[in-house]
Amino acid sequence: MEPAPSPFATPPGAESLLERAYSDAVERVDEVDENRGRVLDAAYEQFCRMGIQRSTMEDVARRAGVSRITVYRRFATKDALVEQVIRREFRRYFDQFLIDIEDAATVADRVVMGFVSSLRAIRRNPLIGGLITVEPDLLVSSMITDNGGMLATVRQFVAGQLRREQRAGHVAGELDTDLVAEMMVRISASFLVIPSRVVDLDDDEQLAALARRFLVPMLRPPGATE
């Protein structure tokens, strides 16, 4: 039997879940279907309490106080519902991310704030953080068994941010943005999925100091001076 597809996986050529969530945040997309919103709220609560794998569409319908047919009219499959719930959580994360970096004065500050904001938001999110703790296979499988699809998606997002900094003249044009983004994302991901006995991931000041010491210097191309 083949393993169940990860809710983070993206078909080749399709816009990723993270990219869609980011677009939602930038464009301020809001839910207008009351029943749809109720189902998403109920699914979020159900998944937080019982996990995704142990939850059924019937569980969600019961928690939402609607019929199973109502759920299926809006979400044809459980995978579709899971994707929309996680997409909404990532949209909320991006909302906060954009707020957190808005007042950062320099590109270095934006890297630091982005690192701290990302780890804080994901670890403290009841659903996504819970998946990492309770059902880590859903996340790890995306990093390993689907050719690193999730890491590639996040890396593309970070590289895009770095290229914006290049166009604004804040980062050297010869910087390899894809490679720097790859390293930044892999460092962040390792902290998310592997507990640290050295770094207190709940200490924002310690995380900020770590980012300034190890991530900010990546913004300088090899051979560049201070």
The series of mean pLDDT values per 10 residues for the chain, 226 residues long, is 47 56 56 81 92 92 95 92 84 78 91 91 80 62 55 82 93 95 92 87 95 96 67
pTM, rounded to two decimals: 0.71
Q: 59-65, long-range: CB within 8 Å, 24+ apart, which pairs?
A: 64/38, 64/39, 65/38
As a residue count, the chain comes to 226
Looking at residue 221, its pLDDT comes to: 81
Largest CA distance in the chain: 64
Which residues, at least 6 apart from 167, have a Cβ–Cβ distance to it below 8 Å? none
Residue-wise pLDDT tens digits, 81-97 = 988 888 888 778 777 77
In the block, residue with structure tokens 């191309």: 221
Indicate the residue type of 44: Y
Burial of 207 (0-12, 13-18, 19+ CB in 10 A): buried
Q: What is the DSSP letter of 215?
A: I
Looking at residue 225, its pLDDT comes to: 58
User: In sequence order, what DSSP letters do the residues of 3-51 get, joined into one string?
Assistant: PPPPTT---TTSPPHHHHHHHHHHHT-----HHHHHHHHHHHHHHHHH-
Looking at residue 88, its pLDDT comes to: 83
Looking at residue 3, its pLDDT comes to: 44
Residue-wise pLDDT tens digits, 50-82 = 888 889 999 999 999 999 999 999 999 998 898
